[in-house]
Homo-oligomer: A and B are copies of this chain.
Amino acid sequence: MIINMNEGATEDEIQHVIERVREAGFQAHVTRGTERCIVAAVGSGGKRHELEALAAAGGVAEVVPIAQPFKLVSRQVKPHRSVIEVGDVKIGDGSFAVIAGPCSVESRQQIFSTAQAVKAAGARLLRGGAYKPRTSPYDFQGLGVEALRLLSEVRKQVGLPVVTEVMSTEDAELIAEHADMLQVGARNMQNFALLRRLATVSKPVLLKRGPSATVKEWLLAAEYLLAGGNPKVVLCERGIKTFETETRNTLDLAAVALARELSHLPVMVDPSHGTGRRTLIAPTSRAAAALGADGIIVEVHPCPERALSDGAQSLDFRGFRDLMQSLAEPMRAVSIPQLRMDKAAAKS
């Protein structure tokens, strides 16, 4: 931490800060400039929050953190990329994993036909919502337990591991029994009670980035899971909220590359929520592959215009097959230069 003093800070104020730094368990290195004085707190065993609170001390302009606040998710702690197993599928091993399925599980017929279609087209995992976070209380909230049972069945019969969202600590156990991977939705990224609960389940977690979360906040949310005992975390960029209204969200693909640079965890992309427009799903999926993302999660529905949720951004079966075809070549082309670049980036 660096404590940056005001231009007019008095000698007493400076001494007070120096004392507080020492009380907090750090060494204080003082640099006196022509206009300002800077106090650097050096050491690693002290109490960080006591330094942060110095922002409230007299004569202090600001307290600037120097080190990254996350540890276990960091590539500095674990330089090699993590590979997360979901059922028999590996995410983060250099392949490009495709998760596909409907926004919500609506009926046996709907989820079975979708599972078969996406598997045939090359998807490796099935998504399907049982509990849906909906902006309005009057919108369809998911079939709940009934959907979980359908997902269990379809998993066995079709043979795709299943990803579904957990919205509440109370549902975590039940969902963990039925699903292979638990999704934390964007609006729950900083639901810390939920994160702490999911840190104790044995299933991997797909952690979506919040619509207004910085990359650091996203990695710190993942840190809750790792610090709590669950290292099986896959990050998922799904668009942030900006002033642009033509797309549902602004898909932040650079953040995917950045998260992979800062963390060893796999990073996937959700082009369906990320753009909200069917025509943009294929180009952004190709971009995700070329960028080095570890896969995508895509909404597919037998008849999008009859979907109970997210119809406008869902692909039909044919659209999904076209997507998979258009991805084939970028996925292959990218593997080699990607690895080369990653090494270069790591060195620089």
Contact = CB atoms under 8 A, between A and B. Distances in A.
A200 interface: no
Interface string A310-348: 011010000100100111111011101110110011001
Nearest to A303: B56
A306 B54 CA distance: 7
Interface stretch (A117-125, A128-136, A149-157): A128-136
Interface string A1-15: 010100100000000
Interface stretch (A86-94, A166-174, A175-183): A166-174
Contacts of A71: 138
A280 B254 CA distance: 7
Nearest to A307: B53
B169 A212 contact: no
A220 B182 CA distance: 26
Contacts of A240: 212, 242-244, 250
A136 B307 contact: no
Interface string A26-51: 00010111111010101110001110
A133 B192 CA distance: 6
A252 B250 contact: yes
B250 A52 contact: no
Interface in A237-272: 240-247, 250-255, 257-258, 261
A283 B306 contact: no
Tally of this chain's copies: 4
A239 B48 CA distance: 26
Given A31-B29, A66-B4, A244-B240, A314 B56 contact: yes
Given A215-B244, A334-B286, A223 B136 contact: yes
Q: Which interface residue of A57, A286, A308 has the most chain B CB atoms within 10 A?
A: A286
B306 A279 contact: no
Contact of A52 (B43, B241, B292, B311): B311
A206 interface: no
A247 to B, nearest CB: 5
A274 interface: yes
Given A212-B211, A243-B243, A52 B251 contact: no
A55 interface: yes
A290 B63 CA distance: 31
B212 A212 contact: yes
Contacts of A168: 169, 193-194
Contacts of A145: none
B20 A56 contact: no
A289 interface: yes
A308 B47 CA distance: 10
A289 B215 CA distance: 24
14 contacts: A36-B66, A38-B40, A38-B66, A53-B311, A56-B307, A70-B136, A134-B192, A136-B223, A137-B220, A167-B191, A214-B246, A278-B348, A286-B341, A333-B333
Given A244-B255, A286-B334, 17 more contacts: A7-B76, A34-B43, A35-B67, A38-B40, A49-B139, A49-B308, A53-B307, A54-B311, A171-B193, A188-B190, A188-B191, A214-B246, A253-B284, A258-B280, A279-B348, A330-B333, A330-B334
